[in-house]
Amino acid sequence: MQGDAHEAFAYCRAVTRQHAKNFYYAFLFLPKAQRDAIYSVYAFCRYCDDITDDDHTVTTPQVLLQAWRRELDACYHGRPTHQITRALYRTVQQYAIPQEHFDELIRGVEMDLTIHRYATFADLAQYCYRVASVIGLACLPIFDADHAPVHTYARHLGLALQLTNIIRDVQEDAERGRIYVPLEDLATFHYPETDLLQQRYTDAFIALMQFQEQRALGYYQQAAACLVPGDRARLIAPEIMAALYRTTLRKIARQRYNVFRGRTSLPMLQKVWIALQVFGQIRLGGA
């Protein structure tokens, strides 16, 4: 059994290393037990995401998600069959993570199968909560920071991170026929939906993206305001993620929001440097 668990966590670690371009560097600063637990949570989330994003020729994404939901139930009843859920079973047992967070994540992923536009920001915020904020909430017990103000921190930071993703991935989403920028914002800045789908870089688009950036920055600030002394020391990993994503957001802004040139990313050495800076600031400051 111990060997099976070791193999399962190794599998989740490999998934994270391969796919988590920003998260992986934040996780490196955690103690091994916490790191392995986070890997299992991330791998579960990644599997959900791949179901909706990948092409499936044998069956439909809806059927695959239903099967994954049953596997989650099996995990919480002590009968996991997949490498990811075998590791996740150990994690949720050790840290008492409520199943509702993972159920909510699956509901969010299901939205991608049927919803390709969001009329208002309130509609988008629900999606962001389900696919991002709940992941932070699920991780709080792992960080030993499971109290009310930090719950609000996780909700706000999840929104900030997902809004950053949306800004960065406008081109990629448009090529899939998806628009995550609220349609009410497109109307406000007189930037037609057809222009976005055709990737037209105009003054209206710049103004629209600047507004999206300011909204995301507002959630980063609200998240930071929730923390009380001692919280940051427990939340080193999400604080590193926040720094990495905010740096990406600043880079997009310096490029005048021209995300149609391709996905904006940070060099590996810069990611490592940012992670070290945040780690050092928190450890030396005792925050």
Q: What is the pLDDT of residues 91-108, one digit of tens each?
A: 999 999 999 999 999 999
**What pLDDT shows up at residue 286?**
57
Range(s) for CATH 1.10.600.10 in the chain?
1-97, 115-287
State how far Cα 36 lies from the chain centre: 18
> Alpha-carbon dihedral of residues 179, 183, 187, 188, nearest 10 degrees?
-110
Q: Which token pair is 60?
A: 């439909």
Stated pTM of the model: 0.94
CB 60 within 8 A of CB 29: no
Distance separating alpha carbons of residues 262 and 251, to the nearest angstrom = 13
Low-confidence ranges of the chain (pLDDT < 50): 1-3
**What pLDDT shows up at residue 146?**
81
**What pLDDT shows up at residue 1?**
42
Distance separating alpha carbons of residues 101 and 247, to the nearest angstrom = 28
Distance separating alpha carbons of residues 77 and 80, to the nearest angstrom = 8
Total residue length of the chain: 287
**What pLDDT shows up at residue 58?**
63
CA angle 31, 36, 42 (to 5 degrees): 120
Q: Which token pair is 32?
A: 């091994």
**What pLDDT shows up at residue 2?**
47
Establish how many alpha carbons lie within 13 A of residue 149's alpha carbon, considering only the half-sphere containing its beta carbon: 12
**What pLDDT shows up at residue 170?**
98
Identify the CATH class of 1-97: mainly alpha
239-252 per-position pLDDT tens digit:
999 999 999 999 99
The CATH homologous superfamily of the domain defined by 115-287: Farnesyl Diphosphate Synthase (1.10.600.10)
What's the Cα-to-Cα distance from 186 to each of 30, 118, 171, rounded to whole Å? 41, 11, 15
